[in-house]
Amino acid sequence: MPFIRAIRLAHPGTSNEHIEAVQVSRLTTGTLYTETREEVHRAIKRGVRYRTFDERTHQQADVAARVSSRGTRYIATVANGVETDNLLRLRQF
């Protein structure tokens, strides 16, 4: 399962919709590779399960594919049916 460990935001970025790319690894440690937000969104829609992994706290969260009211495809973490900011808490690259 891919673990998202870092994010790149459009400047100025303040929401999940501003995430442009993520750094992902197959385990919670190991080599990182970059995927665009669109690539992750498509993979989730195909059934690939992504999770965040915060290297500082070791917290994890499932990642969901979302579409904004303006039609922007983005990714977010969801807990109890509510979007959370787990992705935005990850380190930036």
Mean pLDDT by 10 residues, the chain (93 residues): 96 85 96 97 98 95 94 89 84 94
Q: Given this model, what pLDDT does residue 15 score?
A: 85
Q: Given this model, what pLDDT does residue 79 score?
A: 77
Contact between 66 and 76 under an 8 Å Cβ cutoff? The reply is yes
H/E segment holding residue 45: helix 37-45
Please report, as a single letter, which amino acid is at residue 29: T
- Going from N- to C-terminal start, the domains of the chain cover 3-92
15 CB-contact burial (10 Å; exposed 0-12 / middle 13-18 / buried 19+): middle
Q: Given this model, what pLDDT does residue 74 score?
A: 94
Q: Given this model, what pLDDT does residue 83 score?
A: 76
